[in-house]
Amino acid sequence: MDFLRPATWEEALAAKAEHPTAVPIAGGTDVMVEINFDHRRPEYLMDLNRIGELHEWETEDDSVRLGASVPYSKIMERLRTELPGLALASHTVASPQIRNRGGVGGNLGTASPAGDAHPALLAAGAEVEVASVRGTRLIPIDDFYTGVKRNALAPDELIRAVRVKKADGPQQYAKVGTRNAMVIAVCAFGLALHPETRTVRTGIGSAAPTPVRARAAEEFLNAALEEGGFWDNGRIITPSLARQFAELCAAACNPIDDVRGTATYRRHAVGVLARRTLTWTWESYRGSARTSKGAA
């Protein structure tokens, strides 16, 4: 094994072009487990910790460019306002020790269906900024996950950052596990209201071969909210509407039975999380709408 230690991003891209099999390591919370357990013996291990800009984020007018290695602990502490869904998801990652090391770049690189960041990124409509010596491209999150632990990266590419629009409405994230810390999600659900475009986006984790959106559920809800004038009148979401949304979210799953849960349980739980997160976000939207109108 060779240990590559690029000092700059340009050096890292050059090294990845020269050794496309090199395994990038940042927080190490996935890669080191595989090495410790002899599941992986990469020819080249490439340390990205020396590249400062990967640990930084830039807030632009309407979006955040989040460096691939910004640790979850920073996201949950510093980006709650801009990226509430991702901040909530970050808080559910493993433990303080892991959150201090791991970041979204690693979650995307591993592309496990159980990665905690994915549902939040799907719901927010993020873009993944990837780069190689050939140039930079932005991959819409919807096109990023291509299979179980597979993603749209070319062999010579590295993840530089994630670009996420600042929240224009309430966002929520919920996860099912046996305790509040140190769990791989049995299933997870992210939901974001986008009042500016009058749309709702979702993300489901751990309940299909890849993280997925519940598209049919989104279309149904978008149409129902529009038709009922909900965005303007701030009406309460009726139980039947919430139930139908939940059923469509459950139907978007394609889960398996495994040690953490059965397929049937996962489908059911995703429905429950969908209903809850919809209620939480919508109540928050109604609350803020009332406040901004100054109604007594």
Q: Interface with another protein by CB under 8 A: which residues?
A: 1-3, 5, 25, 27-29, 31-33, 35-37, 41-42, 45, 47, 49, 94-98, 100-101, 180-182
CA dihedral 163, 276, 228, 290 (to 10 degrees): -80
The burial class, CB within 10 Å (0-12 / 13-18 / 19+), for 47 is middle
Q: Is there a contact between 25 and 47 (Cβ–Cβ < 8 Å)?
A: yes
- Minimum CB distance to another protein, residue 71 (Å): 8
> With respect to another protein, which residue has the nearer C-beta, 116 or 218?
116
Instruction: Write the secondary structure of 215-242 as one string of H (helix), E (strand) and C (coil).
Output: HHHHHHHHHHHHHCCHHHHCCCCCHHHH
> With respect to another protein, which residue has the nearer C-beta, 31 or 158?
31
Cα–Cα nearest to 273, from 178, 172, 180, 184: 172
> With respect to another protein, which residue has the nearer C-beta, 100 or 146?
100
- Minimum CB distance to another protein, residue 21 (Å): 14
CA gyration radius for the chain? 20
> With respect to another protein, which residue has the nearer C-beta, 18 or 226?
18
- Minimum CB distance to another protein, residue 35 (Å): 5
Alpha carbon distance 23, 41 (integer Å): 10
> With respect to another protein, which residue has the nearer C-beta, 73 or 281?
73
- Minimum CB distance to another protein, residue 196 (Å): 34
- Minimum CB distance to another protein, residue 26 (Å): 9
